[in-house]
Amino acid sequence: MSEERKALAIKLYEINAFKFGDFKMKVGINSPVYFDLRVIVSYPEVMKTVSDLIAAYIKEHQLTAKHVCGVPYTALPLATLVSVQQGTPMLVRRKEAKDYGTKKLIEGLYNAGDTCLIVEDVVTSGSSVLDTVRDLQREGIVVTDAVVVVDREQGGAVSIAQHNVRMHSLFTLSFLLNTLLEAGKIQRNTVDAVARYIAASQIKGDGSFVNPQQKVAVNDFSRIKLPFEHRATLAKSEVAKQLFHLMASKKTNLCLAADLTQSEEILNIADLCGPYICVLKTHIDIVEDFSEAFIKNLRILADKHNFLLMEDRKFADIGNTVSLQYGKGIYKVADWADLVTAHAVTGRSILQGLKAGVSGTASQMSKRGVFLLAELSNSGSLIDAKYSEAASKIATEGADIDFVAGVVCQSPKCFDFPGLIQLTPGVKIDDTTDQLGQQYQTPEHVVKERGADIGVVGRGIFQAKSVEKAAALYRDRLWAAYTERIAKTGV
């Protein structure tokens, strides 16, 4: 389906269903990208491909509903094709009630309590989808899902979700951009301009837009302003999406570095601190009594307390060696660690090597991800600004970035793309250094000044008198700093 989607993305661009430039939008802000999917009615083969893909999506995700309803007007013919293809009766929502006869807003045969799936062409704020949802709900019709062709990734999915409707998209704007970039149809500066625009023009809680020209300084287009829920919709890595949602729902951005050498100690601390953390990070090669049973128990605790496992292996070899180190050997890291860390020193082949280390299907691949190291927390690190920039580029450009969940770094300037997660180690409340070069900052400093989305705490927790109390304290302070950060910047 991915190849088909890519071909369709290019076709849509070629028939001017979307364009790049400087466009005045309905909501009064200028956009570097403009969609007009109305044109597709003039291209029957495109109509067929789009509706086939929607139908395939519905089938694959088992979005069973008794009716299908298109948001007027552009999505009406698409909904019609989906209805006919699937044999699902259609409902038609009028934009205005008839002023004669029945005054009905919804045409078609239905009963209160029936379910209905929505089809829409492009979602920006989500308001058009919600208008249709509201009219259907007034008739007692239950709407739980909407399938849209393009998600402009400006918060529409979140605002639709707030009304208990899940939004699914065939394309995100990022996917379209990357496909066109890969195909040589657009330049990198266009991709960057659109990414900045997306980050800066997210929807606020009241449904209005933040105007990039008026409210956000030009050099202030930053991911750190956006809530995790919004950033989840922008992430290209499935694990990053999962982690953003996990952090938002569990209200924690604390990663515990369980740098202990006995498996029993790690399991113990994982159980005690599990409720407070989003990620538990291991250095599996320091465990003296490693066994498969240990990993099995660790995974049970990860599921019990809802946190992800990260093996901080810091891979740094040629692709072939990395694929073996990741998938084989005693530890078989790819089998159990949701996330791993890797240096970017070998270049892009690190991503290909890691992907090759995951055995199994595309769906198993989508459950794994990497954090690339772009900066280190210790004094005397050889990493300079040029290296960091090159490392961030590997995380944000190219065909394999769907495997990159985030970046390990110390500065908000390290990368712009809001769909990646910044992991920042070197967090301790009562020390500034250790004896071996580590440098510490407070939770507030790493989140508010350094752009950390997740703070990594090791000895600050596992050397504390009560690890549970320490985990709760670090969780509270990191989370409060994050909520203040997004509240202050007001997007």
- Interface residues toward ligand 6AU, by CB under 6 A: 257, 259, 283, 312, 341, 373, 376-377, 408, 425-426, 438, 456-460
Using DSSP bridges, classify how beta strands 106-107 and 90-93 pair: parallel, antiparallel or unpaired: antiparallel
Residue 314 appears among annotated catalytic residues: yes
Contact 17, 134 (CB under 8 A): no
Structure tokens at 455: 């703070």
Cα distances (angstroms) measured from residue 105 to each of 147, 224, 340: 21, 43, 53
Q: Shortest distance, CB of residue 400 to ligand 6AU, whole angstroms?
A: 20
Question: Is there a contact between 203 and 159 (Cβ–Cβ < 8 Å)?
Answer: yes
Token output for 416: 């712009």
Q: Nearest approach, Cβ of 434 to ligand 6AU (angstroms)? A: 6
Burial 361-388 (b: 16+ CB within 10 A, else e): eeeebbebbbbbbbbbbeeeeebeeebb
Minimum separation from the CB atom of position 480 to ligand 6AU (A)? 19
**Euclidean distance between CA atoms 350 and 156, whole angstroms:** 34
Beta bridge partners of 369: 339
Shortest distance, CB of residue 271 to ligand 6AU, whole angstroms?
A: 20
Give the nearer residue to ligand 6AU in terms of CB position, either 20 or 315: 315
Q: Chain-centre distance of CA 89, in angstroms? A: 34
Q: Which CB atom, from 237 or from 377, has the smaller least distance to ligand 6AU?
A: 377
Residue 279: left if φ>0, alpha if ψ -120 to 50, beta else—which one?
beta
Q: Which of 417, 410, 391, 373 is nearest to 224 (CA)?
A: 417
By beta-carbon proximity to ligand 6AU, the closer residue of 110 and 479 is 479
CB of 71 or CB of 481, closer to ligand 6AU? 481
Backbone φ, ψ for residue 302 (5° rounding): -60, -40
Nearer CB in complex with ligand 6AU: 166/459: 459
**In the bound complex, what is the minimum distance in angstroms from residue 321's beta carbon to ligand 6AU?**
19
Distance CA 94, CA 96 (A): 5
Active-site hit among 314, 332, 393, 448 = 314
Q: How far is the CB of 485 from ligand 6AU (least distance, A)?
A: 21
Query: Measured from the CB atom, is 221 or 371 closer to ligand 6AU?
Result: 371
C-alpha distances in angstroms, 227 versus 122, 402, 411?
A: 22, 21, 18
**Shortest Cβ distance from residue 409 to ligand 6AU (Å)?**
8
The smaller minimum CB distance to ligand 6AU, of residues 259 and 444, is found at: 259
For residue 488 the two structure tokens come to 């202050």
| Closest among 135, 13, 10 to 71, alpha carbons compared | 135
Q: Which amino acid is at 442?
A: T
In the bound state with ligand 6AU, the residue whose beta carbon lies nearer, of 2 and 261, is 261
The nearest distance, CB 451 to ligand 6AU, in angstroms, is: 14
CA–CA gap between residue 456 and residue 421 (Å, rounded): 13
Cβ-closest residue to ligand 6AU? 458
Q: Among residues 175, 157, 211, 170, which one has the least CA distance to residue 25?
A: 211
Annotated catalytic sites, by residue? 314
